[in-house]
Every structure is written in C-alpha cells, then in structure tokens.
C-alpha cells in the first residue's frame, strides 16, 4: 500500500510513518518541515504532486491545542478546515478514494453524564464564575444536582467547545461530504490524550503531558489546574500509530463505510493528578502542585469507549500506563 501521510514530521505522524514502514507499506511524507516533501497541505499544486500513485491518504497535519485567545481563530480555520478542503479537492482530482483523518475527543465537548433524577443529560459549558469559585464539577442542567460521569461512544452528539474542536468537527464534516460526492471512504480516528516520545516542546499549544514533562526537566513541579480531579484517557502514541495502520488497511481493502468514526483510547481513564504524579515519580522530580487555575473551554471529564475500534479494526492498546509514563519520563519531550 502506498500512503500519503500529511504531517509526517510531527509527533503522531512520525510514529505513523514508522508503523506503516514496519508493516511493509510505502510512505510518502508531506510536511512543512524537512520530512518527505516540504510543503503545506494548503498548497494545492504540491498536494497534487504528492498524491500521484498513492492508494490512500493519512491526514495528520493540523494546528493542535486549545489555543491561546480569539486571535488564533484564523490560523486554526486556515490550517485545519481550509487545509483539509484543499486536500480533499485534490484527492478527488487524483481519483484517490481512501482517507484516514486524525480527529479528536474534543469533538464531544463534555463527556457522558447521568443524573440520579433525570437520567442521561448533557451539561452546558462551565461558566467562569463557577470556575473562579472552585465549582469545577458540572451540575445537572435540569436540577443542578451532582452528575455521574460515564463514557462516550462514537454516536454521541458532537458538541465542540473551543476553536480546535470546531475545526476537528469541520474536518469530519468536510470529509463526509467528500465521501458522498466521490464515492470515497473515510475513517476518522478520535484520539484521546496522546502522549509519548517526540511530543512537542513547551509551547502554549502543547499537550498537558508535554507541559508537565517540560517543567520537570527544568526542576519545577507540574502545575495541575482545577482540583486535579479532571478525568482523561491517556493513550500511548505507538498505540495510536498502530490504530492508523489498521484503519488504512481496512479502508483500502474496501471494508469501510462512507464515513466511520472510532475512539482511540486506552480504556483506562485517569485523573490529571494521577498522570502528573506518575510522571513526576518516574522522572524523580518535584511533586505536582494543584493550583486551582482553569482555562475557559476546557471540559471536566471526557472518557471513551473504544469497543467499536476493538470489534471492527482489531485495535487494542498495548502500552500500559505506568510503562508508558516511565518511558516518557526517561526519553524527554522531543527525543
């Protein structure tokens, strides 16, 4: 299988390139950096050249992270939505009909919740007044009572709550329209909190594990927002790369629908404090500090069921949490 891999020099893309090569496939990279063809996915002529002779596209190129402020809006929309639109148009011209696209858990907004009185509910965005007062748990939108968090499946109604999430939903919708118009097939992999070797350096757009690891490297304690009780699913980057190989093999073999989404997660949610403590212990650095700080647009709990990926792709995570954190602590952020 010949695969065009956008974002091939990035954190996740570079691991996908390794996994595809190990599985006997041929990878053609497209990235702004000096990996494969140095080109932007918004550069239609470069994309057209890169698509020549490929069987499938694995689209990882994106601007990631929550964003700093409202002035990031044009950059996110340009890189993620417009870039995907250019890629899809050129795929149609080239007659390439198989696509795996990197999506994200952020498309769900808050996770699944149930109220003892009202059953399944979807709480709205948490207000700044409540966050400032330290009321971090969302309440029932009907009665205000405490809620019990659960796991989200792929058929959960999408509810993006920041610009990155908006553009990930847009990518899925654009890809779905492309599939309907061309007869192509799309697999969207909704990554949960990916961590591991080659994570980006300490920037405002880095993932929380990288931010914690950067502070430990400087001899500083990880700073945990809210009360540290936020629940996430931390999945190792090599497991994510393997999921992409499985998805590409399925879509090229003709076993995919016009559009199919999959949660890619470990299935073992942890709190942010759990992760910070495990990473600090493995690194041998200072213990985390819970700050009570917050970011507007963050969600409280987001945990996934990856049963569909297990059934249909044969995906099962292989890297245990403690082993993955120990490796990440030892290798550094950009190793």
Which residues 6+ apart lie within 8 Å of 22 measured at CB? none
How far is Cα 231 from Cα 257, in angstroms, rounded to an integer?
Answer: 32
- Neighbour count for residue 144 (Cβ, 10 Å): 10
Q: Is 285 helix (H, G, I), strand (E, B) or coil?
A: coil
Rounded to whole angstroms, how far apart are CA atoms 2 and 311? 26
Residues 6+ apart with CB under 8 A from 9: 29, 31, 32, 33, 34, 35, 36
Active-site positions read 164
3-state secondary structure of 107: helix
Asked if 100 and 58 touch (Cβ cutoff 8 Å), the reply is yes
Reduced to 3 states (helix: H, G, I; strand: E, B; else coil), residue 305 is coil
Cα 13 from Cα 29, distance rounded (Å): 9
What is the C-alpha radius of gyration for the chain, rounded to an integer number of angstroms? 20
Contact status, residue 164 vs residue 76, Cβ threshold 8 Å: yes
How far is it, in rounded angstroms, from Cα 261 to Cα 19? 21
**Structure tokens of 173?**
């919708």
């Amino acid at each position: 299988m010949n695969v065009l891999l956008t974002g091939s020099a990035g954190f996740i893309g570079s691991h996908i390139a390794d996994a595809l090569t190990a599985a006997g496939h041929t990878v053609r990279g497209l990235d702004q950096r000096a990996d494969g063809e140095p080109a932007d996915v918004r550069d239609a002529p470069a994309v057209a050249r890169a698509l020549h002779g490929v069987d499938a596209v694995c689209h990882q190129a994106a601007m990631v992270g929550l964003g700093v402020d409202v002035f990031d809006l044009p950059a996110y929309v340009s890189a993620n939505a417009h870039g995907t639109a250019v890629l899809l148009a050129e795929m149609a011209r080239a007659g390439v009909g198989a696509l795996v696209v990197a999506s994200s858990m952020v498309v769900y907004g808050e996770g699944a919740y149930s109220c003892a009185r009202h059953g399944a509910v979807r709480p709205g965005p948490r207000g700044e007044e409540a966050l400032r007062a330290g009321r971090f748990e969302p309440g029932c939108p009907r009665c205000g009572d405490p809620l019990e968090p659960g796991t989200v499946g792929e058929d959960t109604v999408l509810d993006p709550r920041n610009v990155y999430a908006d553009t990930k939903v847009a990518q899925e919708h654009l890809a779905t329209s492309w599939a309907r118009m061309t007869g192509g097939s799309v697999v969207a992999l909704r990554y949960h909190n990916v961590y591991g070797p080659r994570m980006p350096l300490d920037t405002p757009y880095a993932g929380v594990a990288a931010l914690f690891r950067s502070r430990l490297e400087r001899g500083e304690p990880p700073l945990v927002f809210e009360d540290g009780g936020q629940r996430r699913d931390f999945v190792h980057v090599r497991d994510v790369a393997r999921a992409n190989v499985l998805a590409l093999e399925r879509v090229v073999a003709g076993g995919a629908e016009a559009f199919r989404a999959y949660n890619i997660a470990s299935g073992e949610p942890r709190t942010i404090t759990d992760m910070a403590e495990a990473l600090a212990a493995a690194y041998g650095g200072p213990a985390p500090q819970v700050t009570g700080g917050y970011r507007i647009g963050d969600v409280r709990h987001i945990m996934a069921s990856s049963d569909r990926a297990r059934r249909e792709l044969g995906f099962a995570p292989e890297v245990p949490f403690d082993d993955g954190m120990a490796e990440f602590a030892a290798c550094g952020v950009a190793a």
